[in-house]
Amino acid sequence: MLKFCLTVDCEGLISFKQGNPEWGIWGNFKFCINKSIKNFRYNKNGFWLFYNEIKNKKFPCTFMLVGKLFKPVEYLDFIEWGYHTYNHVPLNLISNENIEKEVRNIYNVQSITTPMWRVEDVENPERIFNILKKSGYENTVYHGRVKKEKTFYKKFVKKPEIRFGIKCVHVSNYFEGNWNKEKINKVKKDILKNINKDAVYLLTTHDFTHRNLRNLKEIIRFVNKLEKIGKIKIVNLGKA
């Protein structure tokens, strides 16, 4: 049976202070535009909007918290708290000492998403995994390898795999609160296309893109219906 897992990277608007090391001239130009209009296009209070809807619907979800901005709110059996590092910096571009500071397990959680999914560097693939394992993490969201600023990301619907002692659950797709209906329908069609796989469908999003809950409500309605008729099982990352 296909397992469905929803994770949300909770980072407020911190990304707009940092950008992405992979972006070129055009990417940085778009970043500057987005940064200048962030208060109109994005929602700095998106976490609370998203969290309250998840809580009210009692929908399984894993919240990955940037430690500088967030901490666990309350402990409910359908919500898993995970970590998204302290400052949201690309781990493969900093020293071991600084990685240890970034991933220090201040909330004693099992799951982590590394910023920009930068967890396996082709030049030293075990480095970040070893530090995560040492810090007490068991699970991570995985999207592919990186090499310095360059990424080699692909989406997959597959079973989790153990890489260097950490369970890696691969990104299958993502959605945002500011997406239009057509894009959400593509996500729904993709879930249906993979419905018969014995695998995990990991869908991820960000808190700050949700100015309203239209897209989240539609995803919840859709996958709840599939679970009700026995087509999928909704789980947190730790149980994926």
Distance separating alpha carbons of residues 120 and 93, to the nearest angstrom:
11
140 in Cβ contact with 114 (< 8 Å): yes
What are the backbone angles phi and psi of residue 167, rounded to the nearest 5°? -75, 125
Average confidence (pLDDT) over 15-19: 83
3-state SS, residue 92: helix
Residue 19, pLDDT > 90, answer: no
Give the residue among 148, 2, 149, 141 at the shortest CA–CA distance from 85. Answer: 141
Q: Give all strands (DSSP E) within 22-155, no chain letters.
A: 61-65, 79-83, 111-112, 120-121, 139-142, 144-147, 150-153
Task: Check residue 225 and give its pLDDT.
Answer: 98
Tens of pLDDT, residue by residue over 206-239, are 999 999 999 999 999 999 999 999 999 999 999 9
pLDDT (average), residues 36-50:
91
In contact, 95 and 127? CB cutoff 8 Å: no
Residue 8 has pLDDT above 90, yes or no: yes
Continuous segment of H or E residues that includes residue 129: helix 127-134
The token pair at 40 is 């109109």
Residues 112-150: tens digit of each pLDDT: 999 999 999 999 999 999 999 999 999 999 999 999 999
CATH number (domain holding residue 38): 3.20.20.370
Q: Measured between alpha carbons, how far is 50 from 181 in angstroms, rounded to an integer?
A: 18
pLDDT of residue 16: 84
Crossing angle between the packed helical segments 127-134 and 96-103, to the nearest 10 degrees: 40
Q: How many domains does the chain have?
A: 1
Identity of the residue numbered 70: F
The DSSP symbol for 212 reads S
pLDDT at 30 over 80: no
Q: Is the pLDDT of residue 199 over 80?
A: yes
- The mean per-residue pLDDT over the stretch 191-195 comes to 98
What digits encode the pLDDT tens for the residues 51-104? 999 999 999 999 999 999 999 999 999 999 999 999 999 999 999 999 999 999
Confidence of residue 109 (pLDDT cuts 50, 70, 90): very high
- Domain range spanning residue 106? 2-239
Helices 214-228 and 46-57: crossing angle in degrees, nearest 10, is 20
pTM of the full predicted structure?
A: 0.96
Residue 40: its pLDDT value, please? Answer: 82
